[in-house]
Amino acid sequence: MSTSSFDAFCRFAFTFLEEQRVRYLVIGGLAVVAVGEPRTTADADAIVFLSASEAETLIGRAANNGFDLDPTVEQQRLETTGTLRFRRGKFQIDLITASLPFEETAFRRASRHELFGVSLPFPSPEDLILFKVLAGRDKDMLDAIGVVRRHHDRLDIAYLETTLQPICELAEDQSPWRRLQRVIADGQ
């Protein structure tokens, strides 16, 4: 994979979102690069703050603006998973429609960083940890530990706990809570 071709894809994808006036928050590997510890990634991920009809409109606009996609497939993906996947060449951006009040809070707390020649919104270290703990995959746990390791002296542990506990209660699932406690312990 050519770094410059991935950079060009990210410039293209995020500039597209900016031009469409989509509110979004960069998450995934790119956020880990900016907020956590350096690692490689071959795709881009973002939370988008769109209604279902706005997301449907975005599918058509993406198809008309150079992304390789089947609008019918993306419409089905949106309806079944609340996500979109826009490809261009060998790269893709995965867009996850916001569904939790926490995501709106994370957007308000975000800061912008220059990456790929574009100013992008990234979550705070605490919010990135929460995104990773909620996802719960092994790779996400390693990323979260890296964020804790990088920011441990400045982390707002009370914010982490008071934000995550209601989500766990609503889902009737305490496993994200246990993962958070493990990440904090392993990152220090």
pLDDT per position as a tens digit, 51-84: 999 999 999 999 999 999 999 999 999 999 999 9
Band the pLDDT of 4: cuts 50, 70, 90: confident
Residue where a domain stops, chosen among 69, 96, 123 = 123
| Structural domain containing residue 76 | 1-123
107 plus 132 within the same structural domain:
no
| 125-142 pLDDT per residue, tens | 999 999 999 999 999 999
CB proximity list for 29: less than 8 A, separation 6 or greater: 39, 40, 41, 42, 43, 45, 143
Residue where a domain stops, chosen among 72, 89, 123 = 123
CB proximity list for 104: less than 8 A, separation 6 or greater: 49, 98
3 plus 90 within the same structural domain:
yes
103 and 92 Cβ atoms separated by less than 8 Å: no
| 16-64 pLDDT per residue, tens | 999 999 999 999 999 998 898 777 777 899 999 999 999 999 999 999 9
DSSP state of 139: H
Mean pLDDT, residues 106-117 taken together = 94
113 plus 50 within the same structural domain:
yes
What is the domain count for the chain? 2
Identify which of 47, 45, 84, 79 has the alpha carbon closest to the alpha carbon of residue 63: 84
104 plus 131 within the same structural domain:
no
34 plus 109 within the same structural domain:
yes
The radius of gyration of the chain's CA atoms, rounded to the nearest angstrom, is 17
Residue 59 phi/psi, 5-degree rounding, is -60, -50
114 plus 135 within the same structural domain:
no
Band the pLDDT of 2: cuts 50, 70, 90: low
Residue where a domain stops, chosen among 108, 123, 138 = 123
98 plus 80 within the same structural domain:
yes
25 plus 109 within the same structural domain:
yes
Structure tokens at 90: 């060998």
- Fill in the amino acid letter for 83: T
117 plus 131 within the same structural domain:
no
Q: Looking at the predicted structure, is the pLDDT value of residue 1 above 50? A: no
| pTM confidence score | 0.90
DSSP state of 100: S
